[in-house]
Amino acid sequence: MLDEYRSSIDNIDAALIHLLAERFKVTRRVGAHKAAAGMPPADPDREAVQVQRMRELAESAGLDPVFSEKFLRFVIDEVIRHHVVAGDTGDDGN
Amino acid sequence: MLDEYRSSIDNIDAALIHLLAERFKVTRRVGAHKAAAGMPPADPDREAVQVQRMRELAESAGLDPVFSEKFLRFVIDEVIRHHVVAGDTGDDGN
């Protein structure tokens, strides 16, 4: 039984990794687009909408909404870290 | 163009939230199973295998392997936090 659960966890984790890889592809494009358009890197209004949406999705999926917000923050922080490493303006890629 | 990117990010985020909800369902079952079977909550060997696997998946998906490891740690910490809040033994649910 434990092996069966673990096999499900492993499948879910593989899907998560692939989705995250895809997400970072898109945020890299967002960063490049904003830079080319001379747009400000951060967009607090957009982020507020994202947080609210994630919380609602989490609730409907039976996931702790607080965790969904922490998760979004964790991912956005990584986007920012990548941009900083890449030497640009700390775009939040959202 | 930005709207199109954001719509992709929103779709990916919704998928991530639903997968995470499903993952927590499974780890809750793992925690209950281990408790019922009198198994120790943590399993460092299993966790080492998970880290290695996540890193390999990340590399093949074009994602930073260090991030994949941080992500796994982030999720496992949340599993532990939930167990602690639920008053049990801090099972790592892996």
pLDDT in tens, chain B (94 residues): 899 999 999 999 999 999 999 999 999 999 999 999 999 888 899 999 999 999 999 999 999 999 999 999 999 998 888 766 665 544 566 6
**3-class SS of residue B43:** coil
Q: Are A24 and B63 a contacting pair at CB < 8 A?
A: yes
Residue pair A46/B3 in contact (Cβ under 8 Å)? The answer is no
The string of pLDDT tens digits covering residues A54-78 is 999 999 999 999 999 999 999 999 8
CA distance A90 to chain B (A): 17
For chain A, first and last CA: distance in Å?
40
Q: Are B74 and A78 a contacting pair at CB < 8 A?
A: no
State how far the Cα of B9 lies from the Cα of B60, in Å rounded to an integer: 21
Contact residues, B window 33-62, toward A, CB-based 8 Å cutoff: 33-34, 39, 46, 50, 53-54, 57-58, 61-62
Q: What is the pLDDT along chain A (94 residues), one digit of tens a residue?
A: 899 999 999 999 999 999 999 999 999 999 999 999 999 888 899 999 999 999 999 999 999 999 999 999 999 998 888 766 665 544 566 6
Q: Give the residue on A whose Cα is nearest the Cα of B69.
A: A17
Mean pLDDT of chain A: 90
CA B33, A59, A79, B3 torsion-angle sign: positive
State how far the Cα of B10 lies from the Cα of A49, in Å rounded to an integer: 10
Structure tokens at A86: 């890449």
Q: Give the residue on B whose Cα is nearest the Cα of A32.
A: B2
Q: What ipTM goes with this model?
A: 0.90
- pTM reported for the whole predicted model: 0.90
Element (H, E) at A32: helix A2-37
Query: Which residues of chain B lie closer than 8 angstroms to A34, CB-CB?
Result: 2
**pLDDT value of residue B31:** 92
DSSP letter, residue B38: T
